[in-house]
Amino acid sequence: MSSPDIPSEQWACVIEKTGGPVEYKKIPVQKPGPDEVLINIKYSGVCHTDLHAVKGDWPLPTKLPLVGGHEGAGVVVAKGEQVQDIEIGDHAGVKVSRVVGRLTVWEWDC
């Protein structure tokens, strides 16, 4: 399956500063790295940790700006050259598995 046309921008709910408003605005669509996939998110939820990020009341530092809605489901539209077990067109679910120091470990369910 060939890659669909991928836009250069997307709409997102962005948290720019702790305690500030959540802004609905356009942001760039990043290309996947060598071991990453790009998913066209069809459905996403706002997790309670997103609300903590807005309020600034959780013990972990918040990387800002932050795009809320880290639990989602969609379709793989691009992949890096090292990705072997996921194909363009696969359905995928996305969730944060754990945070280790400053590294966020993502878990992909296909």
55-82 pLDDT tens trace = 888 787 777 888 877 678 889 999 999 9
Total domain count for the chain?
1
Q: Is residue 2 in some structural domain?
A: no
> Domain residues for 36?
9-109
What CATH number does residue 93 fall under?
Answer: 3.90.180.10
Integer angstrom CA distances of residue 58 from 22, 27, 99: 17, 26, 13
User: Is 3 a domain residue?
Assistant: no
Based on its alpha-carbon atoms, the radius of gyration of the chain, rounded to whole angstroms, reads 15
What are 3-51's pLDDT values in tens digits? Answer: 678 999 998 888 888 888 889 999 999 888 898 888 888 888 777 777 8
The answer to whether position 18 is within a domain reads: yes
